[in-house]
Amino acid sequence: MMTVAGVARGLRRIPALTGRSALVVGLACAAPVLAADPAPLGAIGISGDDRISPLAAPAEPGAIPLGTGGVAASAAPESWFRQYGTAFTRNVSSATIRPFLPKPGKAHGAAVIVAPGGGGMFLSMEAEGWRVARALADHGIAAFVLKYRTRPTPAGEAEFKSAMDAMFANAGRRDNRMRPNAAAARVSDAMTDAAAAFALIRSRAGEWHIDPARVGMIGFSAGAMVTMTTTLAIPEAKPAFIAPIYGSMEAVTVPADAPPMFAVLAADDPLFSHKGLGLIDSWQQAGRQVEFHLYQHGGHGFGMGKKGTTSTGWFDAFILWLDTNGFLKPTH
């Protein structure tokens, strides 16, 4: 079984970033942020009311600590806020997974780890976590929302918003790119959390009526980056399938045993469109299975789909893809 120590050994194989490269990756990792509907980031052409309202920490029934440690140099407590009508959290220093299990008799045996986005600095827990997990469970798929550790942000709401606005101002530049192979060191805490989630879910597969060979991962924006880097840099995680949703489309080095991939992007995504489709090309050139949906409209951060656009069809397409590829086969 995979252990945290094994994950740490895998992370030590990732080259460290220094100087200007580290700065570029840091800004890029902060860019693909929120996933409310409508999405935020007015600085890159997405409109909406961006006021932040403090939110009492909601109940997270059944959430299980992963025991992967804290966050270096983090002093601010975890805090929740509401923006664009949905719930977010930041300054996460203790990773958890929250199970959303299918009703008895409906489970297929497949499981999905759900990684919300947030640029590595906060997490879109409602739009890209709980809503997605409930929809998966309704289709007989066990879902586990991963609340992974985030980088520290200012404790005050005004200071936090100012810091985010300053970073997002550069997020839509054509030369602001996020390369999964290079960014792994930047999201090492989140990768460790994801790998620990795979290990925990497989260790309790019998209890949760899960086939340990059919545990995959879906991630949104920065969560897509965590999904990709975990797949590329931690062989022990071994996801059965992956689904990066509006994440980086940069080319990667594909492992020989790379899992089937289902990818989604909107053609008007201000962060990742018009920068090529190297990720898809990489998977195809490596001879690995891939399905890619490029929607005409949707922007960035559309969650389960932006109303009035065809992006609302991605989830049904994902379920069909899982079924067609045998991941939803009956357990008995």
Strand partners, 295: 266
**Is 199 a domain residue?**
yes
Q: Is 15 exposed, middle or buried (0-12, 13-18, 19+ CB in 10 A)?
A: exposed
CATH at residue 88: 3.40.50.1820
Q: Write down how long the chain is.
A: 332
Strand partners, 74: none
**Is 175 a domain residue?**
yes
**Is 90 a domain residue?**
yes
**Is 31 a domain residue?**
yes
**Is 269 a domain residue?**
yes
Residue 326's pLDDT is: 97
Q: How many CB atoms lie within 10 A of CB 185?
A: 17
CA distance 199 to 67: 12
CA distance 105 to 29: 41
> Which amino acid appears at position 3 of this protein?
T
**Is 332 a domain residue?**
no
Residue-by-residue pLDDT tens, the chain, 332 positions: 444 444 444 444 433 322 222 222 232 333 333 333 333 444 333 345 678 899 999 999 999 999 999 998 888 899 999 988 899 999 999 999 999 999 989 999 999 999 999 988 899 999 999 999 999 999 999 999 999 999 999 888 888 888 777 766 665 566 666 676 666 667 899 999 999 999 999 999 999 999 999 999 999 999 999 999 999 999 999 999 999 999 999 999 999 999 999 999 999 998 899 999 999 999 999 999 999 999 999 999 999 999 999 999 999 999 999 999 999 988 66
| CA-to-CA separations, 79 to 65, 98, 122, 160, 240, in angstroms, rounded | 17, 18, 10, 11, 33
Residue 172's pLDDT is: 59
- Asked if omega into 38 is within 30° of 0 (cis), the reply is yes
Residue 111's pLDDT is: 98
**Is 330 a domain residue?**
no
Range of the domain at 80: 4-324
| CA-to-CA separations, 18 to 21, 23, 24, 130, 182, in angstroms, rounded | 6, 8, 10, 36, 11
Q: How many domains does the chain have?
A: 1
Q: Global pTM?
A: 0.86
Sheet strands side by side (includes 111-115): 64-65, 96-100, 142-147, 111-115, 215-220, 242-245, 261-266, 290-295
**Is 308 a domain residue?**
yes
